Amino acid sequence: MRIKLDENLPLVLVTILAAMDHDVHSVRDEGLIVSPDSKIWTSAQADTRFLVTQDLDFSNIRQFVPGTHHGILLVRLRNPDRRELTEKVTSLFRHERIDQWAGCFVAATDRKLRVIRPAESP
């Protein structure tokens, strides 16, 4: 999977996900830190990348309608420290059917995972 990691995620995830054979870019590596969300979004879409973020600005599925983009994973943890974030994202990419997430909006919390597919959009 082609992935773009937002700046609010641990950089170690680039190495971990790449070791799982994903093509991973980070906002940091691309010099997009503190860029507006619109620029990060445009970059992810231009590069056909699945965006992984904690940023609630990407949570509006009426604005980011499933099926009109390459996919979003929104990670929302109670305690979003580096270790928790790294463990959660790593676990999702190891144990979930991420190959079916293209074009979807995916929300992951401590206890739940919700995948909204294009046909389920409002």
Residue 31 has pLDDT above 90, yes or no: no
First CA to last CA distance, the chain: 26
Tokens at residue 63, please?
């604005």
In the chain, the amino acid numbered 19 is A
Q: How far apart are CA 25 and CA 14, in angstroms?
A: 7
Residue written as tokens 């270790």? Answer: 83
Per-residue pLDDT tens digits for 58-116: 999 999 999 999 999 999 999 999 999 999 999 999 999 999 999 999 999 999 999 99
> What ranges in 7-117 are assigned the alpha helix state H?
12-19, 37-46, 82-95
Residue 122 has pLDDT above 80, yes or no: no
| Chain mean position to CA 48 | 13
DSSP, residue by residue, 56-67: GGG--TTTS-TT
27: nearest Cα among 4, 46, 3: 4
Q: How far apart are CA 102 and CA 72, in angstroms?
A: 8
What is the pTM assigned to this prediction?
A: 0.94
